[in-house]
C-alpha cells in the first residue's frame, strides 16, 4: 500500500529543547494510523509540523509524494490536510452549523462582492454547501438535533464531535485527530471509534491519530508508530508494537505484577 504521508528524518528543536529527533515513519493510504507515546514525546509538535505551524530544522514531510516545504497552513488545508485539536478549537461565537460550514471554506468560491449581493451565485453556493453538509456530515455524525445551537453551550463530547464534523467538511484526504476521545466516557468513545472507522471505510480518508486510550488504539488502528522523547522507537502492526519490549518498557507496561514487584524491590524475595 502506498504511503500518503511520509515523515523523513524530521528534527525540530526550540532553543535547546529537542522536540523531535530524526523522526521517520510512514502513513499508509486509507488506514487508521496512530501515533502513541508518553506525554511530552513530541506528538503534538509532530502534528504542528505537518500542519505547517512549526518549521522543522531538518527533514522533510512528503504528502502524496510531494515535499511540503514552505507551504503555509491555509494552503495545506486546500491540499486536503485537515486537523482537530487537543483543546477544542471551535469558534465559540457561532452555531454548530456555521462552524461546520466553515470547514468547507476552502472549497468555496464566493468573494466579497458576491457575498455583499448574496442573491445569485453566493446564495446558490451556500445552499449547495448546506445540502452537502446536512446530508453527508450532520446525519452521519448524528448531530442534527443541535445544529442551530451555539457551540459554547454544548457538552464536551458533542463539541469534539462538531470539531470532527468541521474537519470532515474540508473534504480531507488526510484527517489528523489530536486525542479525539480524551475526556470522553465509554459510550462516547465507542461512538467516536465507530465514526472513525466509518470515515475510513465510506469516505476513503486516511486517519492519522494521536491517542492515549490503548484499548481503542489497538482495536481500530491498522498501523502504529511509537514516539518517545522525540524519537520513533517502534513502527508496525498493533500486535507487533504491543509486544515490542522497548515499547513496553517506555510506555505500555505489562500486566505482569511479578516483574513489576521485582523491579521495585530487586533484593527481596516475593513469596
Partner 1 sequence: MDWLFFGEISLAGLAMGGLYALIGLGFVIIYKATRVINFAIGEIMMFAAYLFLTFAGGMEMSPWVALPLAVLGGSVLGGVIEKVMIRPMLGESPIAVVMVTIGIASILVGLVEMIWGADPQLLPGFLPRKPVFIGEMYLAPKIAYGFLIGAALLIVYLLYFRFSRGGVALRATASDQAAAYSMGINVRRVFNLAWVFGSLAASLAGVLVAATGGLSPQFGAIGLSVLVVVIVGGLDSIVGALVAGVFIGWLETVAGAYLGGEYRMPATFAVLAVILVLRPYGLFGTHEIERV
Partner 2 sequence: MRIGDAKQSYEADEAIWSSSTQKIWFAFFLLALAAFPFMADAYLLYMGCLVGIAVISTTGLNILTGFTGLISLGQAGFMGVGGYTVAWLSMNTALPFPVTLVLAGLLAAAVGILVGLPSLRVKGLYLAIATLAASVFLHFIFAEWESVTGGMGGMSLEPAHLFGLTFQTDFQMYFIIVPLAVLMVFAAKNVFRTRTGRAFIAIRDRDISAEILGINLLRYKLMSFALSSFYAGVAGGLFAYFYRVVTPESFPLSMSIFYLAAVIVGGMGNLLGGILGAAFMTLIPELLGMLTTALTPYYPNAPVFMSPMLGIIFGALIVGFLIYEPHGLAEIWHRIRRFFSLWPFKN
- Residue 14 binding: pick among partner 2, partner 1, none (C-beta 5-8 Å cut-off by kind): partner 1
Radius of gyration of the chain (CA): 21
- Is the CB of 22 or the CB of 134 nearer to partner 2? 134
- Residue 94 binding: pick among partner 2, partner 1, none (C-beta 5-8 Å cut-off by kind): partner 2
Q: What is the Cα–Cα distance from 113 to 49, expressed in whole angstroms?
A: 35
- Cell triple for 85: 485539536
Q: What is the Cα–Cα distance from 86 to 140, expressed in whole angstroms?
A: 22
- Is the CB of 166 or the CB of 223 nearer to partner 2? 166
Residue 39 CA: distances (Å) to CA of 45, 116, 123, 183:
11, 47, 46, 15
Helix then strand then coil, % of the chain, to nearest 5 = 45, 25, 35
Q: What is the Cα–Cα distance from 218 to 251, expressed in whole angstroms?
A: 14
Q: Confirm or reject binding of residue 85 to partner 1 (CB under 8 A).
A: yes
- Residue 68 binding: pick among partner 1, partner 2, none (C-beta 5-8 Å cut-off by kind): none
Q: Confirm or reject binding of residue 95 to partner 1 (CB under 8 A).
A: no
Minimum distance, C-beta of residue 130 to partner 2, in the bound complex (Å): 5
The side-by-side arrangement of strands in the sheet containing 231-236 is 81-83, 174-178, 206-210, 32-36, 223-228, 231-236
Q: Which stretch binds partner 1 (CB under 8 A): 47-55, 57-65, 97-105, 232-240?
A: 47-55
Minimum distance, C-beta of residue 86 to partner 2, in the bound complex (Å): 12
- Is the CB of 85 or the CB of 140 nearer to partner 1? 85
Q: Confirm or reject binding of residue 44 to partner 1 (CB under 8 A).
A: yes
Minimum distance, C-beta of residue 221 to partner 2, in the bound complex (Å): 24
Residue by residue, DSSP assigns 50-115 as HHTSS--SEEEEEETTEE--S--HHHHHHHTEEE--SS----TTSBHHHHHHHHGGGG----HHHH
Q: Which stretch binds partner 1 (CB under 8 A): 43-51, 113-121, 230-238, 258-266?
A: 43-51
Q: Confirm or reject binding of residue 48 to partner 1 (CB under 8 A).
A: yes
- Which residue ranges make up the site for partner 2 (CB under 8 A)? 51, 53, 72-75, 77-78, 82-83, 85, 89-94, 98, 101-106, 108, 110-112, 114-118, 122, 125-127, 130-131, 134, 166, 170
Task: Evaluate whether 133 touches 184 at the Cβ level (below 8 Å).
Answer: no
Binding site for partner 1 (CB under 8 A): 14, 44, 48, 51, 53, 85
Amino acid at each position: 500500500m502506498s504511503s500518503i504521508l511520509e515523515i523523513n528524518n524530521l528534527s525540530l528543536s526550540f532553543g535547546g529543547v529537542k522536540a523531535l529527533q530524526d523522526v521517520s515513519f510512514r502513513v499508509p493510504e486509507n488506514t487508521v494510523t496512530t501515533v502513541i507515546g508518553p506525554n511530552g514525546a513530541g506528538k503534538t509538535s509532530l502534528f504542528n509540523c505537518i500542519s505547517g505551524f512549526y518549521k522543522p530544522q531538518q527533514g522533510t514531510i512528503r504528502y502524496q509524494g510531494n515535499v511540503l516545504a514552505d507551504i503555509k497552513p491555509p494552503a495545506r488545508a486546500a491540499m486536503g490536510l485537515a486537523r482537530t485539536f487537543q483543546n477544542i478549537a471551535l469558534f465559540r461565537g457561532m452555531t454548530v452549523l456555521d462552524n461546520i460550514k466553515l470547514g468547507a471554506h476552502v472549497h468555496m468560491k464566493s468573494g466579497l462582492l458576491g457575498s455583499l449581493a448574496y442573491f445569485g451565485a453566493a446564495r446558490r453556493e451556500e445552499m449547495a454547501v448546506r445540502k452537502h453538509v446536512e446530508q453527508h456530515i450532520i446525519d452521519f455524525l448524528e448531530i442534527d438535533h443541535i445544529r442551530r445551537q451555539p457551540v459554547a453551550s454544548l457538552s464536551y463530547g458533542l463539541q469534539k464531535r462538531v470539531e470532527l464534523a468541521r474537519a470532515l467538511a474540508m473534504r480531507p484526504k488526510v484527517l489528523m485527530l489530536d486525542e479525539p476521545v480524551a475526556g470522553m466516557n465509554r459510550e462516547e468513545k465507542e461512538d467516536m471509534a465507530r465514526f472513525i472507522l466509518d470515515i475510513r471505510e465510506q469516505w476513503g480518508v486516511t486517519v492519522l491519530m494521536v491517542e492515549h486510550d490503548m484499548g481503542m488504539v489497538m482495536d481500530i488502528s491498522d498501523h502504529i508508530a511509537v514516539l518517545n522523547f522525540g524519537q520513533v522507537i517502534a513502527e508496525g502492526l498493533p500486535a507487533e508494537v504491543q509486544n515490542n519490549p522497548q515499547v513496553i518498557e517506555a510506555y505500555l507496561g505489562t500486566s505482569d505484577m511479578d516483574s513489576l514487584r521485582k523491579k521495585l524491590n530487586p533484593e527481596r524475595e516475593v513469596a
